[in-house]
Structure 1
Amino acid sequence: MIRAKDLTKHFKVHKRPPGFISAMKSLVHRKYEIVKAVDGVSFTIERGERVGFLGPNGAGKTTTLKVLSGLLHPTSGEVEVAGHVPYKREAELLGKITLVMGQKSQLIWDLPPAETYAMNRAIFDVPKAEFDATLKELTELLELGNLVDKPARQLSLGERMKCELAAALLHKPTTLFLDEPTIGLDVAMQVAIRDFVRSYNQRYEATVLLTSHYMDDVVALCPRIIVIDRGTLIHDGDLRQLIKTMDPDKRVSFTLVSPIDDGELAKLGTVLVREAQRVTLRVSERELPAVISHLLGTLKAADLAIEDPPLEDILREMFGRSKANGTPAMPVAPEAKPAPGAKSGAADAGEAP
């Protein structure tokens, strides 16, 4: 279980104008600014949940993950992971957690991943028989093949990310902090990483806290999401309920079999996209049955699809309100959290000064 109560992390940042004179003055008199990277965040994540942790750049996501994994000491508040206080860095806790950062690498650059794996086995004191069995299992799940024997510098970004995941999971952690694990990967590799994370979660009942700017990762893996903005919690609850609350209208896409002017389409709903004969409308749930009946019966539309609004649009609206008002976006009432044991599914390094 992961628990944070009134978690706060502030940084004292030195501020000065550019130039030589200012640099000299700063040697004897410095001005500081307090940056509130995380400001009073509270949440609880039960064992086995998969939770998306979202927010714009600089929101405090990575800072939060670093506090939860024990790399940073909180300014105030309470933090507990798997029954331990993370910043105490107890050996028992370190054997239960892992932190994977898409922009950081633990692989030894000039050596093959197998060397890193051997080093991690010694660090975590994993018995040789258990290590060999786990590595074989991870090799099959991630389809590593002979990648483990190639120098890390010769691996592509996607190949290296798969090897990174294997290195992070050799000690079979039950709590995974994943910070943009699919950054820079192609679509096929993103799907492979998502499938692996889901499989690992289900196989070991592992808790997963995922941050990603690729919303497909979040939608595919995380039934529950936590959203922060400027270090403040603004939503904690069911992903689909957030979408329904922010924008209950549906997106109806279809292909016209005969030309129709925009005026006729506007009677059915708001025209969002029209590219030749392919059209996307925004339609309220109340009017949806009548619109679908008209499209299929009267207009004989083809390739019809009904979808929720994209998560990117929902988050853009939330953060847009925040920027316009100069304050964090209006909180969304949290939904009931999944029962314990239920399978439900943080900024880059620049977020934390």
Structure 2
Amino acid sequence: MPIPPARIVVEDLHKTYRIATRAATSPRPWPFARRAWRTIEALRGVSFVIEPGTITGLIGPNGAGKSTAIKILSGILRPSAGHVSVGGLVPWADRIRHVGRIGVVFGQRSQLWWDLPVEGGFALLRDIYRVPPDRYRARRDRLVDTLGLRDILDQPVRQLSLGQRMRAELAAALLHAPPLLILDEPTIGLDAPSKLAVRAFVQELNRTEGTTVLLTTHDMHDIEALAGRVIVIGHGRVLADSPFETLRATTLSGRRLTAEFDGPAPPLLLPDGVTPLSQGGQVLELGFDPARIAAADLIRALASAADMHGVVLSDVSITRPSIEEVISRFYERHGAAG
């Protein structure tokens, strides 16, 4: 029987924890102090729908509720209230069937056995997921070749580099061909070539197999490269749910213009919508809002000022805000930084 597509439905999700703390008035030393309890609302009415075959980024500052949401979607935690359906199953209620339909990669944890060779770990997962031998061999061979694992199959996991281990973890999560792949910080600590390899593989998997991917990360370059949609969580609530470019345009639409002259940068009567950022020697940096002044008009004003002061505008570059700036500014606006 074919596995249903991984459509994710989350409705009014709540999760509350009770944390034991030492009573402030207790004279006894910890751990003999009288306990007091503090309630933490990790999720406060989170709702979203993720359609099959899409790549969605789930982002937010530390303590926002991302990990709690991922654990509930994985079937590890049970929510305090709300409803979740993943491919028609309730993760915590149908956990055995549910885990057979998902692949999960945690960047700081391993699902492979530390002292076993990679091949041995794959074989154990084949038995755990009850993958038929013929289908397993074909699947394993494809993943091994795609992820470049052939030379490390006989090495214990503990001897692998971080990049090698993460590629092996990806293969391990996909041996049973799950329709949903959950990635939690999959490129943490990786060097640039390894990050690019992981991103390329995820894109190809999504394109060729239609695998639904849910990605949580603090690396905004992962989000920009992979996610067609971004859900931003802060203080346990959904703060935004949109394509990344929409988030960038609505949060930080300004541009940065860097002008270089063949002599000292001339003084400039700043047009409306332009702010000075820095000036040193022959370089002038300006911020401007393209909705209030066109880039061409600003460049003409710079060229005119240069001509008046006997210098030449030799080079101009215009850049968009970095993705780190976009997300940082968004958190500041919503008071979600932490």
Class of the TM-score when normalised by the shorter of the 2 chains: 0.7 to 0.9
TM-superposed deviation, 1:181: 0.2
> 2:297 is matched with which residue?
290
The TM-score, its normalising length taken from structure 2, stands at 0.87
1:209 and 2:214 aligned: yes
The Cα of 1:220 is off from its aligned counterpart by: 0.6
Residue 112 of structure 1 deviates from its aligned partner by 1.2
Q: Does 2:8 match 1:2? A: yes
Aligned to 1:332: none
TM-score by length of 1: 0.83
Q: Does 1:165 align with 2:170?
A: yes
1:53-79, CA deviations, whole angstroms, 9 ceiling, x for partnerless residues?
A: 110011111110000010000110000
1:315 to 2:297 alignment: no
What is the letter of the counterpart of residue 68 of structure 1?
A: L
Counterpart residue number, 2:139: 134
Tell me whether 1:36 sits opposite 2:41 in the alignment.
Answer: yes
**Aligned residue in 2 for 1:77:** 82
2:4 corresponds in structure 1 to none
1:261 is matched with which residue: 265, 268, 273? Answer: 265
**Alpha-carbon contact 2:23-2:35 (below 8 Å) kept:** no
The Cα RMSD (Å) is 2.6
Cα displacement string for residues 70-95 of structure 1 (whole angstroms, at most 9, x for unaligned residues): 00001100001111100023443222
Q: 1:17 to 1:279 in 2, by over 3 A?
A: farther
Separation (CA, whole Å) in 1 of partners of 2:114 and 2:233: 34
**8 Å contact kept, 1:2–1:44:** yes
| Equivalent residues of 1:41, 1:232 under 8 A apart | yes
> What is the distance in 1 between the residues matched to 2:303 and 2:118?
56
Secondary structure of the 2:28 match is helix
CA contact (8 A) 1:16 1:22 kept: no
Deviates more, 1:289-298 or 1:140-149: 289-298
Cα distance change on mapping 1:68 and 1:284 into 2, 3 Å: same
Task: State the match for 1:339 in structure 2.
Answer: none
Aligned twin of 1:12: 18
Does the 8 Å CA contact 2:255/2:288 hold for their aligned counterparts? yes
| C-alpha separation in 2, matches of 1:166 and 1:117 | 8
Number of matched pairs:
322
From 192, 196, 202, the counterpart of 2:201: 196
CA distance in structure 2 between the partners assigned to 1:275 and 1:187 by the alignment: 33
Shift of 1:283: 2.1
1:145 paired residue number: 150
Q: Which moved more, 1:283-292 or 1:115-124?
A: 283-292
Is residue 243–residue 308 contact of structure 1 (8 Å, CA) maintained in 2? no
Q: Which AA in structure 2 matches 1:136?
A: D
Question: Using the alignment, how far apart are the partners of 1:107 and 1:157 within structure 2?
Answer: 13
Match of 2:230 in 1: 225
1:94 maps to 99
Report the Cα distance in structure 2 between the residues aligned to 1:53 and 1:194, rounded to whole angstroms: 16
SS at match of 1:48: coil
Q: Name structure 2 gaps, 5 residues minimum.
A: 1-6, 307-311
Q: Secondary structure at the match of 1:320?
A: helix
Amino acid at match of 2:331: F
Q: Is contact 2:59–2:231 with CA below 8 Å preserved after alignment?
A: yes
Tell me, in whole angstroms, the C-alpha distance in 1 between the residues paired with 2:269 and 2:222.
Answer: 33
Contact 1:15 1:30 in 2 (8 A): yes
Aligned partner of residue 87 in structure 1, secondary structure? coil
Change (3 A) 1:290 1:176: same
Q: Percent of pairs identical after alignment?
A: 38
Call closer, same or farther: CA 1:95–1:25 in 2, change over 3 Å: closer
Quote how far apart the aligned CAs of 1:199 are.
0.6
Which whole-Å CA distance do the structure 2 matches of 1:186 and 1:179 have between them? 17
CA radius of gyration, larger in: 2
Q: Secondary structure at the match of 2:158?
A: helix
Gaps of at least 5 residues in structure 1 are 330-346, 348-353
Q: Output one character per residue of 1:237-277: Cα deviation in whole Å (capped at 9) or x when no partner.
A: 121111111122123346x2513426349669434466876
Q: Aligned partners of 1:277 and 1:17: how far apart in 2? A: 62
Q: Which amino acid aligns with 2:325?
A: D
